[in-house]
Amino acid sequence: METAVLSAVLRTLGPKLYAFLRDGHDLLRRDLERDVHYIRNELAMIAAAIEEHDRRPPPAAGDVRSAWIRGVRDLACDMEDCVDRFVHRATGHGLASMGARAKFAAVIQELRRKSEELSRLRASYAAAAGEPSCWVATGSSALTLPASSSEAHTLASNIVGMDGPRDEILELIGETQGQLKVISIIGFGGLGKTLLARQIYESDAVAAQFHPRIWPNSCKADVSSSLWDAQSCATTWQPPGHVIKACLLYLGIFPSGHPVRRKTLIRRWSAEGFVGADHHRSSLDVAIDSFEELVNRSIIQPVDVSSNTEVKTCQTHGMMLEFILHKSICDNFITFLYGQARLPDKIRCVSIQQNSGSKTRVDSDIDLSLVRSLTIFGKAHKSFLNFSRYKLLRVLDLEECDELEDEHLKKICKRLLLKYLSLGRGITVLPKEIAKLKFLETLDLRRTVIKFLPIQVLELPCLIHLFGVFKLQDADQQMRKLKSFLTEKSKLETLAGFVTDRCQTFPQLMKHMTNLAKVKIWCENTADASSSSNSDVHLSEAIQEFIQRGTDVNDVRSLSLDVGECSQEFLNFSLGDSCYLSSLKLKGNKICRLPPFVTSLAVLTDLCLSSSDRLSSDVLAALSNVRALRYLKLIARHLDRFVIERGDLQSLRRLHIVVVSMTTMSKQQPEIQEGALPNLESFHLLCKDLDGPCGHGGIRIDSLGLGCLREIVLDDGVRETAKEQWKDAARRHPKRPKVVFVGAGDVVDRRRVGAAAAAAPAAGESNSAMAPAAVASVVAAGDVKRPAREESDISAALASLPAKMARLLGAASIHQSSGTQGELSCGGNGASQRHFS
């Protein structure tokens, strides 16, 4: 893990040094170009050596190597601190002073001297300790393959104790000449069964009786399998690559049992510099792949899963979190200012998880100037909220800080290096000084009570993601300048989202946000009919232009509209066939018809329609024209009767219907005809008034999703007779899908349900008897109370960690005997048996 921390620093430092030489600091560049190039090249070689070393089998632990890596990590952090201070000063005050330039030059030259000294120490002490200078794994550390059969079975002249068993078997062979016979040799591993068989095979009696004879190596396949299992086990315990390891350690920031949003975690990894683009993937793809790797290895547990089986929220289970905390503290990756016995000299990543912060304060002599990441959960003493102490902050998460107030924002806006900022419910107004945060990429205001967004936020040059529910302050005088900036310089991709009323500013500006990929809009009704009409026109044009900008079939573009009580007339437009939108959510008090443009979206895969009243039959009939749909969700108080005929929605994988109540008239229940939805994998029908599948409803479960259906989720309030009918219908289905009953508002982990459905012996279970293998988590929807870690929790967890990890590692380890990977013994049937604990 120590190399993961170092590589994370090196990954961010290299581009910073390159940017330093590239940007226009002419005087400094002339003086320091050789020094900076030397340091950059040295760091590149160090990173390459570490990457090459870690791809090899792990060698014996080397104290010299560990000390060298710690020294290089400290040096790299010092370099990054130096560059960040320079950028901070250049951004805020400039470098006009000759003294400032000289001071910076002296620091760079001192860092070069330290780099050269570390290189000399590495070479000299590695040689003195008998370690290779590049720490290349020696042959003794690699897996040792079994010796060849000729070497392993060469008969030694001094073998004793074999005469009796050998003669007995030869006698058995000679009793019935000309007849086939199987003789089994059974015993514990290492007793010489194979050697005995080899002696018999090479005896003169057998050679004379069996002219064509064969010595098959029956263990060879099992040995290969054993080696693969050993390598797989090693891979499971040591995730490949420093990126994943750094992302793993970062999970220690969050308290035990704390749900974490997947996209939030990915954005924080990016802001911290843990993920970067490679030759084949963008930085976003690298972050997503790293997250999926941690989920697949069961290090991250899904809590809530979205419609497309993508994890929305997750958490780390207790045992793994204790391991992460132990490694993070040992490697000085994360510092817990509460509950950590000894604080490191240099603190760079801080997590405050404490309920009673007012009882403890930070000593004034603790240096917090190097902190790059600060996350606060619950209460915190005012000394922690003195943001002038954090000079080099890049990530600031105050979403769940209980003590945050508006007055703190003045100092936060002076942290010029911020790339990620999340604010909590104590914030009511965002100051105009937010414009100083030139490097800010993510601004999350969802937990705040901010109603109006300053126009300066949209002018931030690096802003990519903006979250919240707000209106825009009056910007009539700046509209021309702002439109020009949004068209030419803005990087904004996510705007989720804004509220429209009689003000037309947001819709007009949205037309110029050319990089937008995700938009959320809330429509607010206004009594002024003329203003409402003008606003609808601008909003309609903005939505059309947003959809029409999607010209790449592979782009992920999302639009969410909550029209409330407003008219849907502004959505009454059509589009050409070359427009692409992948996800559409439409919510309103009454959705009377499907907007015409929806049927022309060739690659619309996700569609959600939500009405607080009813979904009419006209809307439902039009859905059959949306050919590419893979996920369809319908939410309504009442649902008109609709029919899904054979041939409709053939690409649909998931169909979710949520209805508050159905009328007693049987015609109101949906009808899915035989042979319809051939690729359906997940079917949710949540309504407590639901009847059986084939009685009055007309839903033919036995032919629904033939060969694909894995899960059926129903409301737990359904009558018992209807439950039994659904279970019986599922048992008759060729794929025997899992039937799960959930309460209102429950969330089902579809990944686990789907995985277990194929192997489930039973066709249905009630919610109270759901097996853990089938449903990993069922949690209540809504705002989750997130507990903070007490002071003593971390110390207690670390104190009990060695014993727990020993049990955990012992449960997954392979018994080793005589230096081999796994103990093999021959059974009576001639097959080898592997013994694992």
> What does the pLDDT look like over 137-177, one tens digit per residue?
333 333 343 444 444 444 445 577 788 888 888 887 876 66
Three-state SS at 678: coil
pLDDT recorded at residue 432: 92
Asked if residues 442 and 421 have their Cβ atoms less than 8 Å apart, the reply is yes
pLDDT digits (tens, 9 = 90+) for 353-373: 875 444 455 565 788 888 999
pLDDT at 664 over 90: no
Q: In angstroms, rounded to a whole number, what is the distance separating the alpha carbons of residues 244 and 444?
A: 25
- Per-residue confidence at 440, pLDDT binned at 50, 70, 90? very high
622/97: higher pLDDT: 622
* 677: alpha, beta or left? (left if phi > 0; alpha if psi -120 to 50): left
Q: In angstroms, rounded to a whole number, what is the distance separating the alpha carbons of residues 753 and 751?
A: 6
End-to-end alpha carbon distance in the chain: 26
Report the 10 Å Cβ neighbour count for 99. 7
- Across 297-318, average pLDDT: 84
- Per-residue confidence at 395, pLDDT binned at 50, 70, 90? very high
Give 486's contacts (C-beta < 8 A, 6+ positions apart). 458, 492, 509, 512, 513, 514
The DSSP code for 492 is: -
**Among all chains, which residue has been given the structure tokens 């051939």?**
678
Asked if residues 463 and 492 have their Cβ atoms less than 8 Å apart, the reply is yes
Asked if residues 556 and 580 have their Cβ atoms less than 8 Å apart, the reply is no
Lowest mean per-residue pLDDT among 122-126, 341-345, 381-385: 122-126
Report the 10 Å Cβ neighbour count for 215. 11
The DSSP code for 647 is: T
Three-state SS at 466: strand
This prediction has a pTM of 0.74
pLDDT digits (tens, 9 = 90+) for 276-296: 777 788 888 888 999 998 998
pLDDT recorded at residue 101: 65
Bridge partners (DSSP) listed for residue 767: none
270/357: higher pLDDT: 270
pLDDT at 205 over 70: yes
Q: If 0-12 CB within 10 Å is exposed, 13-18 middle and 19+ buried, where does residue 808 land?
A: middle
- Residue 31: enclosing H or E segment and its boundaries? helix 26-54
pLDDT digits (tens, 9 = 90+) for 515-552: 999 999 999 877 665 556 677 888 999 999 999 887 77
534/82: higher pLDDT: 82
Written as six digits, the tokens of 615 are 């979904």
754/740: higher pLDDT: 740
- Across 595-617, average pLDDT: 88
Highest mean pLDDT among 189-198, 650-659, 699-708: 650-659
Give 236's contacts (C-beta < 8 A, 6+ positions apart). 297, 812
Asked if residues 429 and 406 have their Cβ atoms less than 8 Å apart, the reply is yes
- Across 400-428, average pLDDT: 93
- The domains of the chain, with CATH numbers, are 1-136 (1.20.120), 163-175+185-215 (no CATH), 641-789 (no CATH), 802-837 (no CATH)
- Across 598-614, average pLDDT: 89
Percent of the chain with pLDDT over 70: 66
454/23: higher pLDDT: 454
* 514: alpha, beta or left? (left if phi > 0; alpha if psi -120 to 50): alpha
Q: In angstroms, rounded to a whole number, what is the distance separating the alpha carbons of residues 816 and 731?
A: 46
For the chain, the average pLDDT equals 74
pLDDT recorded at residue 164: 83
Three-state SS at 474: coil
pLDDT digits (tens, 9 = 90+) for 741-786: 987 555 444 433 433 333 333 344 433 333 222 222 222 233 333 3
Q: In angstroms, rounded to a whole number, what is the distance separating the alpha carbons of residues 72 and 313?
A: 36
- Per-residue confidence at 53, pLDDT binned at 50, 70, 90? low
Three-state SS at 469: strand
- Across 426-448, average pLDDT: 94
- Across 802-830, average pLDDT: 35
Written as six digits, the tokens of 695 are 């009685």
Asked if residues 815 and 207 have their Cβ atoms less than 8 Å apart, the reply is no
Lowest mean per-residue pLDDT among 28-37, 475-484, 819-828: 819-828
405/28: higher pLDDT: 405
- Per-residue confidence at 9, pLDDT binned at 50, 70, 90? low
Highest mean pLDDT among 70-74, 99-103, 701-705, 785-789: 70-74
Lowest mean per-residue pLDDT among 217-221, 803-807, 820-824: 820-824
Written as six digits, the tokens of 77 are 């952090």
